Structure 1
């Protein structure tokens, strides 16, 4: 069966918002692919970079006016400790509300290249500018993910399939040499494709070693989907509106190879005119027809979701987007 899910983030500004988001996801996506919500409106420690730094092993970080920065020591800064505490609180809430959950579940984490582009070295400027530093950060992320996946599995013993979505929105900028230096006057040198693939592959391999299923969320234009698949991604989460012609071919090949594809087909913020589930279903059917794929053959490899996170949406649209995704998935299921 086609399944519904969401990219990750939800609206809200406090812990009550997170608790509500967990209940909403578990309720609206029952029998689909529910996920661990992220509520970045709670602060930097709850946003994607802060949550990833909460997981990294043996690397200290703190929050500076310009953003997150490594400390150069193993000791964590107060903001990193708060981020870790927040992840623990979130998992406690999930465990309480998801008792008896079976089937599949998804968690999300910022990928190594987006982290390298958004976290600074101890003396400033992005980790991306230092080959050794970016390798060390990726290794710490991989090690931390092993522990994180084990923790989630312990808390959700009935879940047979745990998907780990690695978010890499900055990857095209990293590969294209478009990440600005701290001064803003220059750009960091582009990373070559073999290094980009090997670094991502190490993180995805850690997910597999921990018993997870590695997916990559790639919502930015010009993301090389073949690189993601070559690095070990067994699922691709994409924005249908951002795809180039060659991307459609890659997604078709992924489905034919037994891999998963999640199409972002719903707006992440409140639309002027809300689509119906029939409208969304017809759009997915046209895409499958363009690729010559039968929904019955694709089966549960295909998913539908909002095109990006819902943090900027109203609470009403966040709820309706999940409902529309679930209805669309049911419509596409023979």
Structure 2
């Protein structure tokens, strides 16, 4: 029987964001399930090449009815996929095979991270140059294509793993830049116009409704629109605590009070190894929760994560990071439950 994501958990969970060091997907996936038993996830291994990284993986594997190819400037919309795009898609299909094998016998939530619609629009090039985000029609087509592709992925994983409750994570590091007009043009001499918030929200609302499974958004850049995402139906938001402003934190507090989940990126990932002890990570999270003055039920919907991906660590360091989060989650749980 599928175990849904609970509205009120009995303890604080912890999980990884997505990226992992090395090139061994079976080992990485087994580690994610062993070290994050409440919320395991399908890792992303960018060391395998550009086709295994966020944009290439999403564009080549999840856009439905839209092809891409790889050019010196990056991934671009195309009439047909080139060899790089076909290899990226094949690699992702292989990753799904690994997930199916590792998750056999598991019943519970599993998180799969993909590039979000606005990060793809901000990163992909149009056939005649410049970014997709510069053209309203092109960004609409990419958003609709990605929505269809994620829906197809969810349907496939339901067939492969009927006992798993899938959580879809949209990685959106470029979302704040899209909203503020901070993206440079191809020439580098000017900036693209900002995209209106109603259009951004409409894309998320359509995606959430189509996917029919819990959707969370992770953004490791400053300025994430937490309230916009909550109103669009996103069940949870993951942020780097060090990048979270007072405004964002107030919006997180409102979301937690109304049943939203919060991924607290409390473990720094800007070094080659984790440097924070569990008690330091726990105090970092508890201090923020204390500022909000929420009840224990709301606090228990906090999921401890690294600030960003763990690809910059070696395998031992990445594993140690997840274990640090596990110990920190125990400390936070004990404190919240009194």
Q: TM-score, normalised by structure 1?
A: 0.93
Taking the aligned partners of 2:283 and 2:297, their CA distance within structure 1 comes to 17
Matches within 5 A, 1:85-164: 85-159=90-164, 161-164=165-168
Q: CA–CA distance in 1 between the matches of 2:324 and 2:31?
A: 13
Q: Which residue of 2 aligns with 1:175?
A: 179
Which sections of structure 1, spanning at least 5 residues, go unmatched?
Answer: none
User: Are 2:6 and 1:3 aligned?
Assistant: no
Name the residue aligned to 2:8.
Answer: none
Task: Report the counterpart of residue 234 of structure 1 in structure 2.
Answer: 235
Q: Which runs of 4 or more aligned residues in structure 1 lie more than 4 Å from their structure 2 counterparts after TM superposition?
A: none
Deviation at 1:300, TM superposition (A): 4.3
Matches within 5 A, 1:6-45: 6-12=16-22, 14=23, 17-30=24-37, 32-45=38-51
TM-superposition CA deviations, 1:11-47 (whole Å, max 9, x none): 11x3xx22211111111112x2111100011111100
Look up the match of 2:190. 186
Query: Which residue in 2 is equivalent to 1:47?
Result: 53
Q: CA deviation at 1:77?
A: 2.1
Is the CA contact (8 Å cut-off) linking 1:110 and 1:168 kept in structure 2?
A: yes
Deviations 1:91-146 (A, max 9, x none): 11111122111111101111111101100111111111111111001000000001
Q: Distance in 1 between matches of 2:127 and 2:294?
A: 50
Preserved CA contact (<8 Å) 2:273 2:314: no
SS in structure 2 of the partner of residue 191 of structure 1: coil
Counterpart-to-counterpart distance in 2, 1:279 and 1:175: 33
1:269–1:317 CA contact under 8 A, matched in 2: no
1:68 counterpart = 2:69: no
Within 2, Cα distance between the matches of 1:193 and 1:223? Answer: 12
Q: Counterparts of 1:269 and 1:153 in 2: how far apart (Å)?
A: 36
TM-score scaled by length of structure 2: 0.92
CA distance in 2, matches of 1:116, 1:162: 25
Q: Which piece of structure 1 moves more, 225-234 or 135-144?
A: 225-234
Matched position secondary structure for 1:21: helix
CA distance in structure 2 between the partners assigned to 1:300 and 1:19 by the alignment:
31
Distance 1:302 1:59 in 2: 37
1:293 maps onto 2:294 in alignment: yes
Which secondary structure does the structure 1 equivalent of 2:157 belong to?
Answer: helix
Structure 1 residue 325 and structure 2 residue 325: aligned? yes
Count, aligned residues: 323
